Structure 1
Amino acid sequence: MFLMEIRDRSFPLLLRKTGDATPLLHAMRIGQSHRDVAIVLLGAFSRWVNHLNDDDISKPRTKMILKALRTNLKLAIDYGLAKSQSDLTASFLQTLIMSEGDKWVWAQVSSISRALSAGNVGQPVKAADSAVRRFATKELGKAHAIATLEDYIANATGDLLMLGAWSNALETIQGEIIPSYYFARDDRVYKAFVDRLDRHKLTIQTSLTRRLKWQLRILRTVLAGRTTTYRRKVELLAVELDDGDGV
Structure 2
Amino acid sequence: MINHATILERIDTRPISSPPSIRHRSLSEPCLPARLPSTAVIRREANLAAPKSLLAQLVRDASHKTDSLKEAMSTKITITDSPPQPQVPSQEFSSTSPPSPLQRIFSLARITKANEPWKDPEPWEVLRAVENKNVNYLMEVRDRAFHALVRPSGGVTPLIHAMHIGKSHHDVAIILLGAFSRYINHLDEMDFAKKETRSLLVSLRGSLKVAIDYGLQSSQSDLLASFLQTLVMSEGDTWIQEQVKLVGIALRQGPSAHPVDVARSSVKRVATRALGKAPLIADLEDYISNAAVDLLMMGAWSLALESFSGDRIPPYYFARDDRVYRVFVERLDQHRDDIDRRLSGRLKSQLATLRSALRGRARSWHVSPFPSSFYKEADFPATRAKLNCWNQILMTPDSACILHILSIVSR
TM-based fold match above 0.5? yes
RMSD: 3.9
Q: In the alignment, what sits opposite 1:84?
A: 220
Q: 2-side partners of 1:221 and 1:8: how far apart? A: 48
Question: Residue 332 of structure 2: which of 194, 197, 207 is its match?
Answer: 197
For 1:60, the equivalent position in structure 2 comes to 191
- 2:170 corresponds to which letter in structure 1? D
Q: Which amino acid aligns with 1:35?
A: H
C-alpha deviation, 1:241, in angstroms? 0.5
- 1:190 and 1:7 map into 2 onto residues whose CA distance is 35
**Do structure 1's residue 160 and structure 2's residue 324 form an aligned pair?**
no
- For residues 347 and 323 of structure 2, what CA distance do their matches in structure 1 show? 22
1:137-176 correspondence to structure 2 within 5 Å? 139-143=271-275, 145=278, 147-148=280-281, 149-176=284-311
CA positional deviation for 1:239:
1.8
Are 1:35 and 2:169 counterparts?
Answer: yes
**Post-superposition offset of 1:166:** 0.7
Q: Distance in 2 between matches of 1:66 and 1:210?
A: 43
Aligned equivalents of 1:34, 1:62: Cα separation in 2: 38
More helix by share: 1
1:93 aligns with 2:258: no
Q: Using the alignment, how far apart are the partners of 1:14 and 1:120 within structure 2?
A: 45
Structure 1 pair 23/107, CA: closer, same or farther in 2 (3 Å)?
A: closer
After TM superposition, the score normalised by the length of structure 1 is 0.72
* Distance (Å, rounded) in 2 between the aligned partners of 1:129 and 1:121: 16
In structure 2, distance between residues paired with 1:198 and 1:236: 24
One-letter identity of the residue aligned with 2:220: S
TM-score, length of structure 2 as denominator length: 0.47
Map 1:108-187 to 2 at 5 A.
108-133=243-268, 135-136=269-270, 139-143=271-275, 145=278, 147-148=280-281, 149-187=284-322
Residue 183 of structure 1: how far off its partner (Å): 2.7
The structure-2 alpha-carbon separation of the partners of 1:146 and 1:172, relative to structure 1 and needing over 3 Å to count, comes to: farther
Which residue in 1 is equivalent to 2:410?
A: 246
Q: 1:28 to 1:14 in 2, by over 3 A?
A: farther
Question: How far, CA to CA, are the matches of 2:278 and 2:183 in structure 1?
Answer: 20
- Please state how far the C-alpha of 1:218 moved relative to its aligned partner: 0.9
Distance in 1 separating the partners of 2:202 and 2:334: 35
Identity %: 39
Separation in structure 1 between the aligned mates of residue 343 and residue 209 of structure 2, nearest angstrom: 43
Task: Determine if contact 1:125/1:234 at 8 Å carries over to the other structure.
Answer: yes
Q: CA deviation at 1:168?
A: 0.6
Q: Which residue of 1 aligns with 2:351?
A: 216
Match of 1:80, SS state, is helix
In 1, the alpha carbon distance for the partners of 2:179 and 2:273 equals 22
Task: Give, in angstroms, the shift of residue 14 of structure 1.
Answer: 6.8
Cα distance in 2 between the residues matched to 1:178 and 1:118: 22
Structure 1 residue 40: Cα displacement:
3.5
The Cα of 1:92 is off from its aligned counterpart by 3.1
Q: Is 159-168 or 16-25 further displaced after alignment?
A: 16-25
Structure 1 residues 57 and 174: alpha-carbon distance in aligned structure 2, compared to 1, 3 A threshold: same
The residue type equivalent to 1:44 in the other structure is G
> Quick check: 1:128–1:160 contact (8 Å CA) kept in 2?
yes
* Aligned mates of 2:405, 2:285 — CA distance in 1: 21
Establish whether residue 3 from structure 1 lines up as the match of residue 135 from structure 2.
Answer: yes
How much has 1:151 moved relative to structure 2?
Answer: 1.8
Q: Flag the structure with larger Rg.
A: 2
Structure 2 residues not aligned, in runs of 5+: 1-132, 367-396
Higher relative contact order (CA 8 A, sep 6+): 1
2:365 pairs with 1:230: yes
Task: Give the SS at the match of 1:172.
Answer: coil
- Any idea what SS the aligned residue of 2:359 has? coil
1-structure distance, mates of 2:235, 2:159: 22
CA gap 1:181/1:200 in 2 versus in 1, 3 angstroms? same
2:297–2:354: 8 Å Cα contact kept in structure 1?
yes
Using a 3 Å threshold, how does the CA distance of structure 1 residues 179 and 170 change in structure 2: closer, same or farther? same
> Residue type of the partner of 1:41?
I
User: Shift of the alpha carbon at 1:216?
Assistant: 0.8
- 1:38 deviation in Å? 3.2
